[in-house]
Every structure is written in C-alpha cells, then in structure tokens.
Structure 1
Amino acid sequence: MPGVADLPLHGGRVPPWMLRIMEELAESIVRYMVEVRGPSTVLAMLADPLWFQAFNNVIGMDWDSSGSTTVVTGILKTVTWRDPNIGVLVLGGKGARMRRVPEEAVEASKLYGVDAGELERASRIAARADSSFLQDGYTLYHHALVVSVEGDYIVVQQGMNTGSGMARRYHVTRFELEEPHSGVAGISGGEGVLNAVARESRDARRLYLDLLGEGPRRLLRLLGEANRRIRGQPSILDYIEGPSPLQAGRRPAYYQPVIPSRSLVKTIERLASDPPIDELDLALKPGVGPRLVRALALIADVIYGVPTSVRDPVTHPLDPYLYAYAIGGKDGVPYPFDPRTAREAISFLREALEEARVGERVKARALERLHRLVSSLERRCL
C-alpha cells in the first residue's frame, strides 16, 4: 500500500567501498526478481514508496535520508546500464542528469525496442504534473524514468523544500494529469497546496482550457479582477455578480495575487494562438509553469466559483525504519553498515539465482526430450 517516509536532508557521501557492496547487493536483488517474477514486477515494486524505502534500507542506505532516492536510483542506473540484459534501465537522475532522459530514451529504444518519443512524452508529463499542476512547496531536483524490456515504465522524482530541509518523493505510474501517483512519500500536513492533479480538480482543469480559449486580453482582465478581489479591493464584478466566495469567508491559504510578468503574458499569448485541445496537450505546451497554473486557478475560483483542490498529496504514513535492521546503515542507525552480512546476502542471492536458472535449464531439457519422444511416436503411427 502506498505510504509516507519522512526524508530529511542528510550530509555526507557514501564511501566508495560501501557503494561497491551496495551496488552488488542491489544488482543481485534485481536480477533475482527479474528471473523469478519478471522485469515488470521490479517496476511495480519501485512504484510503491514503502517498498522503495525498504529496498533502500536493505542495501544499507540511511533509513530516513532524502539521499535514499538519489542513491537508490543512481545505483540502479549504474548496474542496469552496465548490463542492460538485466531487463530494466534507469534514465535521468539528479540535477543535470534529469535533462538526459531524451537522449537516453533513444539508447533505451535501441536496446529494448521501446518508443523513445513515448518515453520522452511520459517524462515531460510527469515532470510538469509535479512542478506546475501540483504546487506543494517542493521544487523538483531529481527525475528518473525506469523502463523495462517489456515496454512498461514509471517515473520516480523528488522535490526539496529549502525552508524545512525536507524532501518528498513522487512515484508516477499514470501519465495523465489526474491522480498520476501510485504514492507520494514525505511529511503530510502541508499548507498552501495547489493540487490541480487531484480528482476533485477535474472541473477546474476543464475551466482552465476554456479560459485559455477566450484570448489573452480577456484572460488578463479576469486575472486583474481576481487579484483585486483577493486583496479586498472593489471590483466591478462585485456589483454585477455579487460578493465572491472568498469574501464570504472561504480563502484558500495558497491564494496570493499573481502579477502578470512579461514571460507570463507571452505564454498566454502563445497559448491563445495555439490553444491546447485537452489537458494533456496543455501539460506538454512550452512555458506552462506554476505561475500560469496559479493564475488560472485564481480566476477559476475567485471569478467563477470553481475551486482547485488544496489536498496535500502525501499518502498514508508508515514507519520506514523496519528494514533498516537488514545490514545496518551508512549513518550507523540502527547499527553501522555490516559488510560481512551484506556479502553473505549477495552470495546467497547469486546461488539462488543460479539454482533458479539451473531449474529452468533442466525443465527446458525435459521438454525437449518429451518433444522428441512425441515426434518419434507420431512418425511410428504414420
């Protein structure tokens, strides 16, 4: 079940010797999972924030660190590109690596036969969903797309709140604007959230499209009216339509005036000349950032009474500490990283993987003998 993991910012790097062991252990686990249950199962597990955190703990990373996301995906990227025959590839990563998804998607296409354009489109939708249409105070700095040889894919991305020093991890499995997450890991209870990806924001998103179709002049005039209303200044619409819902006492915490900057005006004009046909088209249009979405949400609610959700997207809490007892952790909690136990686990998994493969080879040989026997009997009958 999706859940919550608190992810404070930790300092320090993983020592090289420890990182090598963590890579071996992660590779052994993933290879065994692919062999026994298939590559799609790996993606399904990584899409669960609690399983992701458990995997992080089992390979020895800090049990509650924001670095769990960057280290786990970084390790998986290293081992999967080292041997793409594993059946899973990780694209993107932290910081500048996020922008490498398009070129790495081309390489993934050559290796797995997947559609590079489809992967890039999914990457862009996920990034836009959690940076523009969901505004919860966390700025994305990590974006990884995980693709399997079977052609399915997920996105794992993370944002940082610089004020609190806390991180949120977003697991995206639906490449739509409505409820794209299989789970969001972080501290719940944030205020001032604008959640335009919520199911209850569906009517608001439809209105966003209508507003953009009315032309830049009217849209900017409506934004000015909305700004005046939330400042408590007189508006001509108050006399025409009566007091707005905000003046009746409902004032979402995230509502602040949106000043139409030059870039915002240019984006509105560009969208008016090439209006989006649906909400996904809107999500993929250049320049659609948090400021535009906030402006549309203000107009939709203040002028038309169609609210955008303020629901915090974080899912149900569960203690991520449980699996930290496997081999210890880099930060010494609950005890220092135990390389001997890690090595034993790696050996056990490698032996189990070889036994599974031997079993498959024995089964294949038996089927081949059975096929020869049946063929011989058929010839005799003829």
Structure 2
Amino acid sequence: MSQRSGSADLPLHGGRVPAWLAERMSALGVIISEAIVAEYGRDELLRRLAHPFWFQCFGAVMGMDWHSSGITTSVLGALKRGLKPREAELGLFVCGGRGRHSRRTPDELVAVSDRLGLDGAALSRTSRLVAKVDSAAVQDGFDLYLHGFILAEDGRWVVVQQGMNGGSRQARRYHWLSEGLTSFVDAPHAAIEGQNQGAIVNLTDRRAEASRSRQLDLLGSLGPDGVSQAYARLATRAARRPDPEPAQGLLPHLVLPEHHDVRAEDVVARRLQANLAAAADRAPADFAELLLAPKVGARTVEALALVAEVIHGAPCRFTDPARFSFAHGGKDRHPFPVPITVYDETIRVLKAAVGHARLGQSDRLDAIRRLDAQARRLEGRVAGPSVDALIASERARSPDYGGRSVFGWEAELAAKDRPA
C-alpha cells in the first residue's frame, strides 16, 4: 500500500456503540489483526491502519455504521480494549483516543516506552507535533477531537486522528505512518480523509517549502507585530480585488454519502456476488465441520468471505466500504441488524484458525485465504441476487440469526408488530 492513499467524505452521526457490539468489535478486530500479523507481519498491519479505505472497510466488517465518522472512534476504541491483554505477545500498543483520552497520549507513550526501552520523550514529542501539524499547519476548517497512536515494540507507529466541522456536519480523518517519514512538515501524511471544503492552507505540502522558509525570514526581520501589520495591508488589498482560487492537486478519494441506508450504488455488486459465490464454492470442502451447525454455518462462511478480503485483499478492492457491512450488518439496522449468532461464529472460527496457526497448523488460515482467492477468480463470472434483494432477504431472516440493533432484538420487535 502506498504511503499517500487519498481522501474520503465522512458524515457525522451521533449515538454510542452499545456494549454488546463493542465487546464483539474488540474480539473481531483483534483476531483480524492477529491473522494479518501471522500472514504478513506486523509492519503490514501498520500499513493497513494507515490506509483510509481499508480502515473504513475494517470498521464496516465489524458491524459499525459503514459510512460515518464514528468508525474512527469505534475502531480505535475496539483495538485499544482488545489488544490490551495481548500487547506484550503481539508487540502492539494503542494509546490515546477521543477527547480527554487524546490529551493523555504523551503520558501513555512515555509509560509504554519505559517498559520497551524506547525513547518516550521523542515519541511524546512526535504525538504532540503530529497533532499540531494537523491543527495548525493544515488549516482546513476541521478542529481535532480524536488522536490515536498505535505503537509497535520496535518503535514504528501509525497515528490516526480526526477533526470535526460542525457547520458542515462533516469530519476529516488524517493518517500518519512512520515508515518512510523523513519530515513532519513536508508532505508527511499517509492519507487525509474528508470532504473537499475548497481552498485550504496546507503548509505541509512540498510546494509550500518556500513559503515555510519565507515565513521564518519574515518573522525574524519584521517580528510578530510587523507580520500582523503586513497581513492587515494584504487582507485589505485582497478584499478590493480577490485573487482567483489557486488550483489544487487532486488525490484519489472515497466519497461517502449522507444517506444512512445502503443502496445498490454504494456496493460494487460483482464483488459482493463473487464473495457469496466463493462461500458457496469453498464451504463444502473447507468448512464441513462448521456446516454441521444448523442455520448458522453457511451464512457464517459468507461473513468469513468478506472478513477474508479484509485480511488478504488488495488495496484496489476497498473502494466500497458498504459491501463489507454485508458480513455483520450495522448497529442501526443498515443494511440489516447485526446477526449475533453469525458474528459469534465468525469470531470462533477465526480464533480457532489463528490458534492452530500458532501451533504450526495453518490449514484453517489457509482455508480462509482460499475464500479470498476464489472470490477474485469468480468476480465478473457469476451472477446472483441484487443488492436490494440481499438486504430484504437478510432482514427477513434476521430473527433466525439473533438479529440485534440499537432498537432491540429483531425477534421481539417482530412479535410486537404481529397483529393480536
């Protein structure tokens, strides 16, 4: 995955993640992380976390709202809780978070560094500097409110932080990756995610190097008062004759819509049909034992096909986060309620696969890898139900799968709706 990955629009949505989902997100998030480390190494997991498209799909496959800014908070929180008991074994530590937790990041980094023998003061300074760059050097109208710092025991790190623009009801997420980083003020981001708000002041752009240098010269020659006076004169002149808006470089970006429901245009249907076909094709050969469980097995393999892509998929396949919500639904019933029995089976199967791999038995992890490989082979060659038909089918079967949302259990809600 490249260091600079592009941008995306993230609508703001309120609400909290219920405890029953938060616990499962932690369990699934950690086991997916373990599988990636087992298959590709810890550095690759850091690269994935620094990729904004993958990060969004990671949250969607865990049952979080597929398009909202809340994925950032919930994914970082899930990893922080879930990795805590495993941090020594995996060599990964999650610091910071939202609000007051973000302000504790430097102290957390110092405490972790003391245990690991790293330079805690330098990492603490890095945390503060990264936040300062995105709040001051990049003046794009978003106020930072979340700062997450994922640290590896060898000193490599990823920072994911997010700002809010209350007026536009939008959020912007910033991704930083230590790998390949040579300067904090010269194009350092792994990616910036968020809606285009027009011209911005970005002093970290390489093209702004001359501007940064000249600002220091001006400050030295004129002093703060002289700079303020010069700015006032320029502002008055600009008001009389506005300059044309400067052209800005464009990056690939993911546009996440305002609507909360999943629509056909939000999903690359051929990919979803390939995921489902791969599950049907590989299940009898690779998951025979699982399929002995009534009602759950086949549907769980479908969820595993999407999880397999999060673990093994190429970067180009993460352009439609909505597709990954078809694994375990969403807490607000979009595209359908969270199927609790399927979710728990997914965690159980993945946990067993990673556990066997630790003992040198990789057959179960290999089966999950084959799911992803088969989906890519079948893409564009198979047909299946439409996105709308799949959503309708999942909602109809939701009570059988222990469907649950912030509104309650689907079986209980269905009973209330039946005529007396």
The two structures have a TM-score, normalised by structure 1, of 0.71
> Distance in 2 between the 1:211 and 1:53 partners?
42
Indicate conservation of the 8 Å contact 1:155/1:172, yes or no.
yes
Question: What does 1:124-139 align with in structure 2 at a 5 Å threshold?
Answer: 124-139=128-143
The one of 156, 175, 184 equivalent to 1:171 is 175
Deviation at 1:37, TM superposition (A): 2.3
The farther-off stretch of 130-139 and 74-83 is 74-83
- Deviations 1:293-326, CA, capped at 9 Å, x for gaps: xxxxxxxxxxxxxxxx874887522443221211
Q: After superposition, what is the alpha-carbon deviation per residue over 1:311-362, rounded to whole angstroms, capped at 9, x for unaligned?
A: 488752244322121111112111111222211211121121122112179x
Tell me which amino acid in the other structure corresponds to 2:165: N
Q: CA deviation at 1:36?
A: 2.8
Q: Distance in 2 between matches of 1:110 and 1:11?
A: 37
> Equivalences for 1:132-147 in 2 at 5 Å?
132-147=136-151
Structure 1 residues 310 and 170: alpha-carbon distance in aligned structure 2, compared to 1, 3 A threshold: farther
Where do 1:150-165 residues align within 5 Å?
Answer: 150-165=154-169
Q: Separation in 1 of the partners of 2:186 and 2:41?
A: 29
Range moving further from structure 2, 33-42 or 160-169: 33-42
Which amino acid is the alignment partner of residue 250 of structure 1?
A: D
1:188-226: CA deviation from partner (whole Å, max 9, x where unpaired): 2x124111111111100111111222252xx52343133
| Cα separation, partners in 2 of 1:360 and 1:345, compared to 1, 3 Å | closer
1:225 pairs, out of 230, 246, 263, with 230
> Is residue 2:253 matched to residue 1:316?
yes
Distance in 1 (CA, whole Å) between partners of 2:219 and 2:230 is 16
Alignment partner of 2:190: what SS?
strand
**Aligned partners of 2:121, 2:228: CA distance in 1, in Å?**
36
Q: Residues 110 and 123 of structure 2 are in contact (CA less than 8 Å); yes or no, is this contact kept in structure 1?
A: no
The residue that corresponds to 1:113 in the other structure is: 117
Measured in 1, the distance between the counterparts of 2:6 and 2:334 equals: 21
Residue 23 of structure 2: which of 20, 34, 37 is its match? Answer: 20
1:46-65 to 2 correspondences below 5 Å: 46-65=49-68
Q: Provide the C-alpha distance between the structure 2 equivalents of 1:221 and 1:143, rounded to a whole number of angstroms.
A: 35
1:142 deviates by: 0.3
Query: Match for 2:189: what amino acid?
Result: H
Deviates more, 1:63-72 or 1:106-115: 106-115
CA contact (8 A) 1:195 1:310 kept: no
State whether residues 136 and 193 of structure 1, in contact with CA within 8 Å, keep that contact through their aligned partners in structure 2: yes
Write the letter of the residue equivalent to 2:234: R
Query: Could you tell which deviates more after superposition, 138-147 or 74-83?
Result: 74-83
Q: 1:154 offset after TM fit, Å?
A: 1.4
Give how far 1:123 is off.
0.8
Give, as a single letter, the amino acid of the residue that structure 1 aligns with 2:200: V
Contact 1:94–1:142 (CA<8 Å) still a contact in 2?
yes
| 1:184–1:315 CA contact under 8 A, matched in 2 | no
Q: Which position in structure 1 is the counterpart of 2:190? A: 182
Deviation digits for residues 244-288 of structure 1 (CA, Å, limit 9, x no counterpart): x99776255xxxxxxxxxxxxxxxxxxxxxxxxxxxxxxxxxxxx
Give 5+ residue unaligned stretches, structure 1.
233-244, 253-308, 362-382
The corresponding residue for 2:337 is: 336
- Point out the more displaced range, 313-322 or 138-147: 313-322
What is the deviation of 1:100?
0.8
3-state secondary structure, aligned to 2:155: coil
Amino acid across the alignment from 1:345: T
For 2:97 and 2:57, how far apart are their aligned partners in 1?
20
Identity of aligned residues (%): 38
Q: Who is 1:212 aligned against?
A: 219
Deviation at 1:152, TM superposition (A): 0.2
CA-based RMSD: 2.3
Aligned length: 290
The runs of 4+ residues in structure 1 deviating greater than 6 Å are 245-248
SS at match of 1:11: coil
State which structure, 1 or 2, has the greater radius of gyration over its C-alpha atoms.
1
Query: Which residue identity lines up with residue 22 of structure 1 in the other structure?
Result: M
**Which is bigger in relative contact order (C-alpha 8 A, separation at least 6)?**
1
Match of 1:34 among 28, 33, 37: 37
- Equivalent residue for 2:243? 250
